[in-house]
Chains A and B, each alone.
Chain A
């Protein structure tokens, strides 16, 4: 208000108008920006609404008990028991985790505890590229390279579509996720803990495995859960390399169908929009959404916990 005393009357008014215009502009801009942020809430509502509506319509025709407990999945015959699809997803995910957990964790330890800074600068982009490879490419690789390789070497009886090759390559796909999230956790372990271990005469391996990994455990668990959730939601690798035949309790060397692969199979065919079969993809989608949502929330909780400690 000291400006008012020195300024002429008209100049003072100009300043006020300008200020009011600026204030209005500030408020409009803030409103627009907040709308962008609220869009994410809208997206979640959209997902829940679309899945819920069609799933409810599906359950008007098919009993929810049959859907959750029957072990027969054959939509043309009207058999809608989701367990065989869940089994397919779980087998592929288990194999993927068996690959990505050790490799991802050891990679994280290497990056954080062993690698020279110059090497890190090379390795991290390679991991990023690995994470960015389109999943159809991984699917092609599993189908035309890994499966024939297995047939000629250790599993002569392996089927063209099988869970082993699909799961293995899915494991490679999630290595970057597991490695980079665990590395953040490993890296956050205070230096003093390592120095304490070295001062007591521990070797590098002992320090890494007995001090650093236990200290970073909740972050590592979060990383693995996140990787598992990625694997469960992954679509093209299992569609291309694991086949489209539901197979309850089949061997990993056989073809089987994952939940995601079923959705692709239906939308790729000529199924009419109003049929039960078409509605069933939303029921399967709901199950998929709920499973990954729970896993993501658990992982988020673990990450926050480890952040609070240090």
Chain B
């Protein structure tokens, strides 16, 4: 009898410890990069170009600008497409074979490794559509990342739409509204907070990705700042990767400082998503 209760208590400790491992690792990781990066972190770091000759004076300015471009273009491309696909699948699509195929297909696309999207982007946007995209431009990077995060946006938006009671739709139809009028005036506004949470998480994943943009030709060094969608670009994660792959201590410190900046952006985006969701959940109850 007592061993059973002893085991029970030990198990409680074990599951609690397991749940806390994530927090411990996250705290260790943040502590490690802040300690390593503190020597490089300054406002100059944010506003300077990286430097091979005077690496201690280098910064992440062009990578920061490039990541903002990537974020903006990816949002412009993926959000309308994702919302459109989700609305179609949730509100219009009947249970046909084709639509079931689309559904399985989207859940599969969510599991395709990001580097495969890079190879897709290389074949389609860099080579086949070079006259339109300008080859390895920031537009190509954004198109590639958009395809990567579309499944996440679609799934999140569909869940938000599914949570809206049927009575809202029926009320709209009863007043003579068409399907699209009901969607535009009621369903989209009601689904937006939930969809937005998914969109923010998806976009923050997109700007954290290094592998696919490495394949579609992100610059690891350039002497100008991206000014148009057809320009070359640098990006935060690939800049960090480039610094990590250099053995000198000053580059390792630069990498750590770059990580602090990237994690800062990411934590901000995540907090926003979580805040939005909590607000939304309170409202819907």
Contact = CB atoms under 8 A, between A and B. Distances in A.
Interface of A: 22, 25-26, 29-30, 32-41, 43-44, 46-47, 49-51, 53-54, 102-103, 106-107, 109-111, 113-115, 121, 123, 125-130, 132-141, 143-145, 172, 175-176, 203-206, 208-209, 226, 229-230, 232-236, 239-240, 260, 263-264, 267-268, 281-282, 285, 288-289, 292-293, 295-297, 299-300
A265 to B, nearest CB: 10
Given A46-B123, A114-B16, A137 B259 contact: yes
Interface of B: 4-5, 7-8, 11-12, 14-16, 18-19, 21-23, 25-26, 28-29, 32-33, 36, 80-85, 87-89, 92-93, 99, 101-102, 104-109, 111-120, 122-124, 147, 150-151, 154, 178-180, 201, 204-205, 208-211, 214-215, 220, 237-238, 240-241, 244-245, 252, 255-256, 259, 262-263, 266-267, 270, 274, 278
B84 A129 contact: no
B267 A140 contact: no
Contact of B29 (A29, A141, A209): A141
A145 B28 contact: yes
A124 to B, nearest CB: 9
A56 to B, nearest CB: 13
Contact of B210 (A35, A43, A136): A136
A253 to B, nearest CB: 21
Given A29-B180, A103-B21, A175-B22, A203 B5 contact: yes
B116 A285 contact: yes
A24 to B, nearest CB: 11
A82 to B, nearest CB: 16
Given A107-B19, A264-B115, A129 B267 contact: yes
Closest CB pairs A-B (n = 3): A233-B113, A50-B123, A36-B84
Given A22-B178, A134-B237, A137-B33, A40 B116 contact: no
